[in-house]
């Protein structure tokens, strides 16, 4: 039975870099946020978003993600509406992906809102990636070309590191990539021992 390792952390914590490092050891990785972006381009989801949020967030029939982000990260109820549209579609896609990797002893399910979405309930093991908030803000501003205010809104819409850590089996401090890689190797050794014991 394939074990699901949930990998999470706040926006800008570098969890995708960590996920890619796990992948370099041959572990299949599912990046929920990337898949959600692709799913949000499907005609069915576009229609549902249009219905819920109106035409103002579309330009020439293309979703303006920045406008949508401004709306949902300023209003928890609107964020919930968006999540109820996107999450079931991502879950369905992940279930299909999981079947395709049924022979793998472990897979990584990487999601920023692993706890908020309830996705953690399906995980056998949970790893949280942490980075000081200020570093996260800087990273996201550079990466997305966005404002400090919008990044903080997104951070505040997510669980805190303390909340995530309290429900996690492992914590990776991603203050330096070398330190984080060492933590990944340690975790893999522990998982291998557990696998041999079972």
pLDDT means per 10 residues in the chain (198 residues)?
A: 94 94 96 93 93 92 89 92 94 96 96 92 97 95 92 92 97 94 96 81
Please, what are the domains in the chain? 3-36+90-193 (3.40.50.300)
Dig out the tokens for 53 from the structure. Answer: 């949020």
The reported pTM is 0.91
Measured N-to-C along each axis, helices 76-100 and 32-39 cross at an angle, to the nearest 10 degrees, of 100
How far is residue 183's CA from residue 14's CA, in Å, rounded to a whole number?
14
Half-sphere exposure of 97 (CA within 13 A, CB side): 16
């Amino acid at each position: 039975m394939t074990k699901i390792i949930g990998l999470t952390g706040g926006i800008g914590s570098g969890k995708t870099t960590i996920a890619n490092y796990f992948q370099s050891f041959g572990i299949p990785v599912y990046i929920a946020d990337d898949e959600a972006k692709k799913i949000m381009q499907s005609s069915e989801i576009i229609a549902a978003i249009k219905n819920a949020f109106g035409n103002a967030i579309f330009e020439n029939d293309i979703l303006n993600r920045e406008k949508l982000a401004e709306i949902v990260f300023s209003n928890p109820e609107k964020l919930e509406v968006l999540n109820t549209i996107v999450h079931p579609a991502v879950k369905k896609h992940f279930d299909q992906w999981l079947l395709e990797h049924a022979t793998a002893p472990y897979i990584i399910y990487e999601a920023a809102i692993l706890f908020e979405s309830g996705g953690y309930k399906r995980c056998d093991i949970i790893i949280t990636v942490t980075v000081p908030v200020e570093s996260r803000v800087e990273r996201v501003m550079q990466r997305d070309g966005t404002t400090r205010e919008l990044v903080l809104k997104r951070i505040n819409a997510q669980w805190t590191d303390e909340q995530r850590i309290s429900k996690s089996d492992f914590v990776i401090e991603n203050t330096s990539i070398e330190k984080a890689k060492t933590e990944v190797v340690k975790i893999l050794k522990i998982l291998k021992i557990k696998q041999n014991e079972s």
